Amino acid sequence: MPGITYFYVNFWSIQLNKSSTSKQKIIGSPLLRDLEWDKGYVFTEARGFSGFEGDDVYTCNRILENNKDLELVKILYPKTNEAYQEMYDSKGELKKFEPARTYLRRNHNVNLGKPLYKNAARNVVDCEARGSGKSFFATVMIAHNFLFDGALDYDDFLLQQNSKAPYTSETMVAAIDSKYSNDLISKFKIGLDNLKGSQEKGSIFYPSPFSKKYDGSLMCGKFVTAKYKIKKGSNWSTKGSMSKIYHRSVADSPEACNGTRSNITLLEEVGFMGNLEEVLGSLKDTTYSGMNKTGTIWMFGTGGQMESGKTEALKKVFYDPESYDCLAFEDTWENTGKIGYFVPYHYAVNDFKDSEGRTDLEKAEREINTKRDVLKKAKSKEPYKEEQQNNPIKPSEAFMVTDGNIFPTTELKEHLNYLESLNDPAIDGVKGTITFDSFGKTKWTPDLDNELRAADYPVKKGEAMEGCIVIWEDPVYINGEIPYGLYIAGTDPYDQNEAANSMSLGSTFIYKTFMTEEGVYDWIVAEYTGRPGTAKEHHENVRKLLLHYNARDLYENEKNTIKMHFEQKNSLHLLATTPTILKSTQNSSVNRGYGIHMTDHIKDELEVYTRDWLTTEIGNGKLRLHNIYSKPLLKELIAYSRKKGLNFDRVISFMLCILHKEQTHRMKIQDLTKEPVRDPFFDNLYKTVKMRNSI
């Protein structure tokens, strides 16, 4: 049994229900379930487990995993060096390598002695269903590191404790808001105040042999130190290991945890930590001693505890764990490749477990599906969505946001996961630049040297934001011309006078409105999202893109520098006039001629138009959203929220595309109901609409 699991179930205390039907809580011993075993194994692996001292056949030392030339290994890592002796058997030959993941979980039948920790430590990004007991297990991580001063061998700990140089450890507890970490600290104090092993003999109380004297405070921004004062004669001296527990908030600064060398760092409710990547970046060096990683950062996320605009940071780490020094696990639920540590709903519910704490997966699957089938049939989709969020059975469900997203996030997530699973560069379109030739015609130059970078979502602080044009389908020419009305655009611009540290981008989408010989329409064919050095450069790139597709652009006109630029370039004809179909603008006193101003009421209507577009069926079980290939747009649609301070530039420009489409469609219908006009433009328009309606 992993040492931390043994300590947890035998000596730690948590608050739990008195019985399965009880409404009251008591302080008692944690249950020993398959989940506690598994988390103990993950913790052991993350701390650098490399095998057992008594195993003369196998080792888990990753040196042998990464080096296949055994003769070279013997030269680089000789058995005469004490640091590498565990890799050699009693005959002086290299042992067989087995990954710690499988080695820890198999039955060895015999006592192989103490565990060894010669591997570098790893981080863990952990997403779980509610009710799995993650915060209780997190408290024992704090306790184990603090009470045993970071030691992983108890005999070694006792020797050092009685020496002149005892071990000392540092533990960090942090969150984006102290309300999340305060709950964890409160649970930790319950366990610390109720350590097993204490005795009362008459009027004398003997504390648990594992207890520690300390001073300080566990309030956010403070710390405690394992020390106490004793009096020798007339003098006082300080005793103790000096191990520390820090409690910090990273809301105002991702560097708030710097200045420490924590063995264990716990980041609570990282689904709300929009600056997670910056926090990990600032912490990275604190977990290393030279080239060797010695500290473990454990990130906790809970299904249903994700916030729009912030969960993407956690998702990025979860789906690319090795880039952040995290343990990587195979995604056996959705086959997306390597992911972080995921605990599905099946393992969180005690009703699905037998008397020894083992999960009956067949029973769990049956009861979960029965519950979900009922919710699927309900008139409202919200209860089913909430069930997915709070009780995820696959990783993507754990990242569903909880706050007011009108868009079909489940379907959007599935489509995004599908695109990412293809691992096909063609899905991401062709990056390039648009210039003018000697005749004043636009010229498209693909980025064959892969020098351009499309802006991702979310944009990290300090990351390049210039962006570039991305094309999925080149303009379609009919009789040497791009038909008027074939392409429309939507733009959410930015102005240079916005704060220099603003993460807002300009975003433009080109939308194809009707059928051509290519047979694809109602989809985005090009995108330009970015923030170049000047607003003028951005506006000119938008103008070039519009000219390249002969498209008219409906833009957000709160700040009208884009209109000024187009006017200077004699290109006002490329800008769409203010739409007339919105109820919110019928009595508006704002009249800027071109574009549309964005208000809450206008956003309400745009969201409905966009939702309906996304969920429109196009045949073969597909929805229109399946025509979107811009992964950053899909990410923004999934994370979308009306909360202030969050940037959803692509969503705004996409919604303007949809509004533009509705407006031009309404105008076409009105034109077609008038008396026939013998104008080539209307003749061609009539033929186009007739052809489309006959499909």
- Number of Cβ within 10 Å of residue 366's Cβ equals 12
pLDDT band at 585 (very low <50, low <70, confident <90, very high): low
Flag whether pLDDT at 460 surpasses 70: no
- Number of Cβ within 10 Å of residue 405's Cβ equals 20
Q: Give the C-alpha distances (Å, rounded to integers) separating 398 from 271, 311, 556, 647.
A: 9, 10, 34, 22
Q: How far apart are CA 513 and CA 657, in angstroms?
A: 10
The whole-number average pLDDT for the span 587-598 is: 72
Give Dmax (Cα) for the chain.
113
**Amino acid 586: pLDDT:** 58
CATH number of 421-693: 3.30.420.240
Residue 192 phi/psi, 5-degree rounding, is: -65, -35
**Amino acid 206: pLDDT:** 92
3-state secondary structure of 314: helix
**Amino acid 643: pLDDT:** 74
The whole-number average pLDDT for the span 497-521 is: 76
**Amino acid 238: pLDDT:** 86
Q: How far apart are CA 584 and CA 590, in angstroms?
A: 11
Q: What percent of the chain has pLDDT over 90?
A: 59
Q: Say if residues 245 and 276 touch (Cβ distance below 8 Å).
A: no
Q: Say if residues 597 and 584 touch (Cβ distance below 8 Å).
A: no
**Digit-coded pLDDT (tens) for 100-138:** 999 999 999 899 999 999 999 999 999 998 888 899 999
Q: Taking the model in full, what pTM does it have?
A: 0.71
**Amino acid 168: pLDDT:** 92
- Dihedral, CA atoms, 375, 130, 419, 548, nearest 10 degrees? 90
**Amino acid 97: pLDDT:** 95
**Amino acid 631: pLDDT:** 94
User: In the chain, where are the structural domains located?
Assistant: 346-404+412-418, 421-693
**Amino acid 23: pLDDT:** 67
pLDDT band at 19 (very low <50, low <70, confident <90, very high): low
Does residue 51 or residue 377 have the better pLDDT?
51
Flag whether pLDDT at 591 surpasses 60: no
Does residue 688 or residue 254 have the better pLDDT?
254
Of the candidates 280, 4, 323, 307, which has an alpha carbon nearest to the alpha carbon of residue 145? 4
Flag whether pLDDT at 230 surpasses 80: yes
The whole-number average pLDDT for the span 437-446 is: 93
